Every structure is written in structure tokens, then in C-alpha cells.
Structure 1
Amino acid sequence: MDNNLIVKEYCNEYQAQVVDVILDIQQQEYNIQITKEDQPDLFSIEEFYQTGNGNFWVAICDDKVVGTISLLDIGNHQMALRKMFVDKEYRGAKFKTASTLLNSAMKWAREKSIKEVYLGTTPQFLAAHRFYEKNSFTSISLKDLPENFPVLRVDKKFYKYLVN
């Protein structure tokens, strides 16, 4: 395993790997009762995420998708950060996959003059909570989300990031 991680904009050739990486983390690692049928956006990434100011990225290492992140355009110069997942073998300081993905997405947001990025996550993702807080995301309540933020059934914890 080399540390030759690159972040690329999503294209259809990665679709099966994206679904596999996300479902494996959700179902196997965290035992979240969510199926691919519960996530139709995974089968129309270009139409769902890569519209308006939105985009979807994959982290690739040795021709394998090892992480994902997306920014969903919700209008009003605001984005929803969605589908941030990193294969457990590629987490941590060695690869810096999560940081690399987040930095790519936030650079995109700044270039698109986005003011705020919001996200919802599950209570189980404690390491993710620490990661977001370490990266200047502020914990907020459900009522503090913009009304156009798409709250998912599994989301119980919410964050806001001010893009500068």
C-alpha cells in the first residue's frame, strides 16, 4: 500500500465502488440499518450532486475508491456536506484521506462563493464528530438548519461551517 492518494471529481466509472465503500461502512462497520434502496442518490450521483454549485469527489488509492465526499447545492450560497466516508484502512495520519477530501470540497466551496456548509450525521460516528469539530465545524441544533437542508432519517447530530 503506497500513499499515492488522489482526489478526483466523480464520474460513472466509480459508481459500483462508491456504493460498495459507503454501504460497507454503514452496514458492516457501524451496523446502521440502511440499504442501497434507501439511498437512490447513489445511483444518480451526477444528476443529484453535480448540479448547480454541487459536486461529488472520490479519493483513489492504487485505482481503488477509498473515500467519498459531496457538496449538495441547497441554494442561498449554502451547501449540504453529504456522503463523507473513508474506508477504515485509509483513515488517520498515514493517508490523511478525510482531510484531503474535506480540503478539496472546501476549496471548491470557496471558489463557488459559498457562505455556509451544513451537515447531518449519526450519533454512532463519534470519530467523525471529532474530525468535524477539529476542522472548524460548529455543532448546531436541528432548528438552526436552513429550511432547505435535506435532513435524513438517520441524522441526529448537525454541524455548520462558515466558509471564508
Structure 2
Amino acid sequence: MDALRGFGELGIGSRLKRLSEQLMKDTQIVYDYYNVDFDPYLFPIFRIISTKNGVTNTEIQNSLSYTQPAITQAINKLDAKGYILFKSDEVDKRKKIIFLSDKGEKTLNKLKPLWKSIDFVIKDITTHNSNSLIDTINKIENKLMDKGFSETIINHIKMNTTENQIIEFEFYKNEYAKNFYELNIEWLKAFFVVEPYDEDVLSKPDTYIIGKGGHIFFAKINDEIVGTVALMPIGNEGLFELTKMAVSPKHRGKKIGQQLLDYCINYAKDEMGLPKLVLYSNRVLENAIYIYRKYGFVEIDLETNSPYVRSDIKMELVF
């Protein structure tokens, strides 16, 4: 018999502690399985740093209500792993601003698909009707005993990755310009024709996209660029077009395009704070239109002076 369960509400603190330790232990198993050098206890502080363009110890403390010693200990561990770097404040040189390092950014890209599956599994095991917190804990523990937390997460990751390989997402670099061009040109030639506007944008991404405040993302597997998508500014009203999404022919049919789409949408909403996105497509691409609708895009009026001759549908996603 489980003695803690027999204590009822009197043992709720101990029950929560035991449940937390079990979840942390299983999360570490997931990280180790995918060779990601990360401690689940560092997640809250690492996540705060990753979402800020520079943050101080005090700001972290205010965000999480952790003790200062706990924050300092976590910061020291992240620093020892090389995941963060420090810069002096321009006004107060005594104040240190914390940023993710290049190594930290790469680790973040590896962690994001794992976090997505962890989030999904946690929602699944915690979604049920309960009469009390104790009842909720009982049901969660029953589900965990029925099928291990780490095993369930790993299975979910396998279902949403390519051949059990984690897809990493990276921002545009000059060295990726050729990949951006070639992936899109191949796709256009396979399904349509390369229009003059396509050639201009694809051959000059710095001019049309990056230089105007846009972003280009790349999907990477084992150091190979396998897909790309862009957020391109259009007009002068802060509107962005989701565009230039292409996946390498040998990697199609493995949901890489959907993962690029998901990553791009989340970045536009959470990191850029955009109110909406638009895209142009063609109705002959039935699978693509279906996926766009699945992610919340709805059809809107297509202007007569559409930038693409092939476009016969315009869609919008409002956040």
C-alpha cells in the first residue's frame, strides 16, 4: 500500500514533492536519450533568458519569485555549461545583463521539439475531471504507473520527428543563402515556374527580407539544411507574409514542412508579437491549403495586383 496516499490531504505537500521529483527524473531521461546536455531544474531560468533580449538577475527573480541563492546557483550552472554570456549595462557598468550564448541558442533549438512533446504529454495526463487536488494527483500517478512519463514523451517525439532524428531550427546566415535559393527554385520548377519576382527575392534575401526586418528559418538534420521558410515584410504597415517555404525532395512526406510552419507561426506570434500573417498560394496545392486551414488560416480576398502570377488564393491568420 502507498503510505502517502493513505495520509490524504495531510500528505499533499509530500505527494506534490514526490510527483515533481518523478517528472524531473523522467524528463532527464528524455534529455539523455536525445543527447541533450541539460538539467530540467534549470528550465525556468533558461526559458526566461531565452525569451528576453537581455535580462538581469533581479528581473529573473521578479518573474519567478525564486530566492536569489537559487537563481545564482542556476546561473552559475548555465554559465559552466557555456549556455549564457554576460554584458555590462550601458548605463550602469556594475549591472550584468544575461544573454544566451551561441551554444545556448543551439541547445535551445534542440530542446524546443522536446519541450513541445513534454507539454503535449503533460496536458494529456492532467486533463480530466476531479473533485479535489488529491483526486487529481491520484489520477496523474495512476497514468504514470500505467505508462511511464519518459517513455510516452519519447514515443511522441518519434512520431513527430524524422526517422527519430531531431530537427533543429536556425536563423538565416549568409552561408545559407545558397540553400534558400536552391530549395525554393527546385520547388518552383517542380510545381510551377520561376517568376521574375521569385528570382529577385530568392537571389537577394538580404535586400527583400532580412534587411527589411524579416526572418528566414531553416530546418536542419545532422548539419544538413533540409527545409526553409520566411517571414517577409510587405508594404509599410507592419504586415508580414509567410512565404518561400520549401523542403528538400528527399525529405518530403516527413512533416518537416508542418514543423517549419509551426515554428514560423510561433515565432511570429510569441517573439515578434505580430497581430496576423498572410500568405499566397494556389488551389492546386490541396494538401498545403488543408494544412494552412488546420493551423487557422482563413481565405480572404485576393487583390488584383497580387505579387505572384500563380496565386489564386490569399489566406490570413489572425492571432
TM-score tier after normalising by the smaller chain length: 0.7 to 0.9
1:97 lines up with 2:252 in the alignment: no
1:128 is aligned to 288
Q: When the two structures are superposed, what TM-score results if normalisation uses the length of structure 1?
A: 0.80
Which has a greater percent of strand? 1
What secondary structure does 1:155 align onto?
Answer: coil
Aligned counterpart, 2:185 = 23
Instruction: Give the Å deviation of 1:87.
Output: 2.5
Higher helix share: 2
Contact 1:68 1:85 (8 Å CA) reproduced: yes
Structure 2: distance between partners of 1:115 and 1:134: 19
Identify which of structures 1 and 2 has the higher relative contact order when contacts are C-alpha pairs closer than 8 Å and 6+ apart: 1
Q: Which runs of 4+ in 1 moved over 6 A?
A: none
Show the counterpart of 2:274.
Answer: 114
1:73 is matched with 233
Alignment length (residue pairs): 155
Amino acid at match of 1:84: M
RMSD: 2.5
Matched, 1:57 2:217: yes
Unaligned runs of 5+ in 2: 1-162
Kindly indicate whether residue 158 of structure 2 is the aligned counterpart of residue 158 of structure 1: no
Who is 1:82 aligned against? 243
- Distance in 2, Cα, partners of 1:36 & 1:67: 22
Go from structure 1 to structure 2 and tell me whether the alpha carbon gap of 1:88 and 1:130 turns closer, same or farther (over 3 Å shift). Answer: farther
The equivalent of 2:148 in structure 1 is none
| Secondary structure of 2:210 counterpart | coil
Can you list the C-alpha shifts for 1:5-61, whole angstroms capped at 9, x where unaligned? Answer: 111111121122222221222213x2x122688521112212211144421111112
Q: Name which one, 1 or 2, has greater alpha-carbon Rg.
A: 2
The answer to whether the 8 Å contact 2:184/2:202 transfers is no
SS at match of 2:242: strand
TM-aligned CA distance change 1:38 to 1:113, over 3 Å: closer
C-alpha contact 1:55 1:72 (8 A) present in aligned 2: yes
Q: Look up the match of 2:54.
A: none
| Conserved? CA contact 1:21–1:65, under 8 Å | no
Structure-2 change in CA distance of 1:104 and 1:53 (3 Å): farther
- Is 1:4 matched up with 2:166? yes
